[in-house]
Each structure stands twice: as C-alpha cells, then as structure tokens.
C-alpha cells in the first residue's frame, strides 16, 4: 500500500510474474570473439546502453549468466569450447547469435569456420549484420524479451539445403503461404508437405549435435 492509499500490488499469475522478471533481468554472457565483439562493447557502453534493458550485470562466468551472446566467428577449434560454456549455463538460458558469422558462418565459408553456431546449440535470436549496429542488437534483445514475455515456443531453426537456398524466391512463397498463415505449423516439413513443394531433405550435420 503506498502513502496515498493506492495499491501498488498488481494481481498476477505467478507465471506472468516470473516471465516479467526473467525478461527484465537478462544477464548476458558476452562471448565476443571477433569484430562483433567490438560492436557488443559499443552496445554495452554509454551511448547505446544495454543496461537499460536489465543487462546491467555482464557476467563472464557462464554459471552466473542466462543469456549467451555469441558475437563473432566461431571456428572449429573454438566450437567445443563454446559448447562447454553453453552446457555450463543453468536453465533457463537463451542464446543470441549476433552477426553473420555466428548465424551462418558469414563471409567465411572455409575449412575452419562453423557455418553457424546452430550446428552445435539451439539459438533463439539471430542478429544479421556484419557487424550488426548496436541498435540491431538492442532490437534483438527486445525481441527476445517479447518471446520470453509471451512464452512463445522456441523452435530450433531449420537449416536450408543448398537446393532450397538457390530457389530463394520460390522458397519464400512456400514459407509465407504455409508457416505464416498457420503459426502452429512450426515444423518446416509439415508446411512444405502441405503446400506440395519439393521434398525438403534434412541437412545432416557433420558431427553429432547434442540436444540442448
């Protein structure tokens, strides 16, 4: 009860309160490897303050963080290290793949770069850009907050085969027709089968991925 008699307590369900608390106190673990790491530092500094969104405390220990911000290229040598860091985080945990390199390998389609960290861990938000400007990262964090608040499902992104990527224009129609008309269809297979598109061959990753 506040001084003028008005009530300062809002009746909520516990789940809503928990989601509100979680979204407003995302403690990031900045896993900055390369250029995106510098833009991450810019986002954390005073001009584009990320602390406004609750990310005041930047924790460098995975056990104390709940948001893994992978910013930068992840190479095959670094992959196991990143996976170990991800495994050390406690639930609930979210992953933002910042930049092109961690989303898909970026401009480096070479023998030593992972083509996206979703080869080794489930990712919630992908931030495009090379590097993304701080506003982009802030938008991604806000989208993540939205996801947490509304309790939206966190499906694993389906990777395109090179065949589908080459047919980008026709593929897009398939996506917009099927998935966005029917949000419950989160599986790519079902939506493609529904619109009688060519068979979507599932990509096989080069080594076994552990399910998060």
Partner 1 sequence: METLLKNDLVTPLQDYYNPNVLLNLGPSHPAMHGTLRVMCRVNGETIEDASCEIGYLHRAIEKLAENKTYHQWIVYTDRLNYCSALANNVGYVMAVEDVMGITITERCMYIRMICLELARVIDHIICVAINALDLGAMTVFWMLYTWREQAYTIIEGMCGMRLTTSYARIGGMAYDLPENFQAEMKIFLEGLPKTLDDVEKLLSANRIWVDRTKDVGILTAEECLGFGLTGPVARASGVDQDLRRDRPYYNYSDLDWDVVVATKGDVYDRYLVRMEEMRQSLKILKQLCAKLPGGSIWTEDSRVLIPKKKDVYEKMEVLIHHFKIFMEGIDVPPGESYRAIEAPNGELGYYVVSRGGPKAWRIKIKSPSLALFQSYEHSIKGAKIPDAIAILGSLNIIAGELDR
Partner 2 sequence: MSRLLLKNREAQDGINGHLKQNYAQQGRYDEDANQEGILWLVSSGDLPEVVRKLREDSSLAMDRLADLSAYDNVDGVDGAGRFVFFIHLYSSKFHSRMRIKCLIAEGEEVPTLTGIWPMANWLERECFDMFGIRFRGHPDMRRILMDERFEGHPLRKEYGLEARQQFSDSLPIRMVTENEVSK
* Size of site (CB under 8 A) for partner 1: 30
CA 176 and chain centroid, separation: 21
Of positions 22, 27, 34, 167, contacts partner 1 by CB under 8 A: 34
What the block records as the tokens of 41 is 């530092």
Regarding 204 and contact with partner 2 (CB under 8 A), the answer is no
**125 φ/ψ angles, rounded to the nearest 5 degrees:** -125, 135
Regarding 57 and contact with partner 1 (CB under 8 A), the answer is no
What the block records as the tokens of 194 is 């529904």
Binding partner at 184 among partner 2, partner 1, none, C-beta below 5 to 8 Å by kind: none
Q: Scanning residues 89 to 128, which ones bind partner 1 (CB under 8 A)? A: 107-108, 110-113
Of positions 131, 137, 141, 174, contacts partner 1 by CB under 8 A: 131
Regarding 203 and contact with partner 2 (CB under 8 A), the answer is no
Please list the alpha-helical segments (H only) found in the chain.
14-23, 35-44, 79-88, 99-104, 134-150, 162-166, 168-178, 188-194
Binding partner at 179 among partner 1, partner 2, none, C-beta below 5 to 8 Å by kind: none
Of positions 109, 162, 204, 211, contacts partner 2 by CB under 8 A: 109
- Which of 122, 100, 95 minimizes the C-alpha distance to 113? 100
Q: What is the per-residue burial (b if ≥16 Cβ within 10 Å, else e) of 144-159?
A: bbebbeeeeebeeebb
Smallest distance, partner 2 to C-beta of residue 212, A:
16
**Residues paired with 71 in a beta bridge:** 32, 98
* Calculated CA dihedral for residues 74, 76, 80, 81, nearest 10 degrees: -50
Binding partner at 132 among partner 2, partner 1, none, C-beta below 5 to 8 Å by kind: none
Residues of this chain that bind partner 1 (CB under 8 A): 31, 33-35, 37-39, 41-42, 45-47, 60, 72-73, 75, 77-78, 81-82, 85, 107-108, 110-113, 130-131, 133
Residues of this chain that bind partner 2 (CB under 8 A): 76-77, 79-81, 109-112, 114, 206-208
């Amino acid at each position: 009860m506040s001084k003028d008699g008005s009530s300062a307590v809002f009746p909520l369900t516990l789940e809503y309160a928990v989601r509100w608390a979680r979204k407003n106190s995302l403690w990031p673990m900045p896993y900055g490897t390369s250029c995106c790491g510098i833009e991450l530092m810019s986002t954390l500094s005073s001009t584009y303050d990320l602390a406004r969104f609750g990310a005041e405390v930047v924790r460098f220990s995975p056990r104390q963080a709940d948001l893994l911000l992978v910013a930068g290229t992840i190479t095959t040598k670094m992959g196991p290290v990143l996976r170990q860091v991800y495994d050390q985080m406690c639930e609930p945990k979210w992953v933002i793949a910042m930049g092109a390199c961690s989303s898909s390998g970026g401009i480096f389609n070479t023998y030593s770069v992972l083509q996206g960290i979703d080869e080794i861990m489930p990712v919630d938000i992908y931030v495009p850009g090379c590097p993304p400007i701080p506003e982009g990262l802030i938008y991604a964090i806000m989208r993540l907050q939205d996801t947490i608040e509304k309790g939206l499902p966190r499906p694993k992104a389906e990777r395109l085969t090179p065949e589908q990527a080459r047919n980008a224009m026709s593929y897009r129609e398939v996506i917009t027709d099927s998935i966005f008309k029917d949000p419950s269809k989160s599986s790519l297979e079902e939506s493609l089968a529904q619109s009688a598109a060519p068979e979507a061959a599932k990509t096989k990753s080069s080594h076994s991925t552990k399910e998060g």
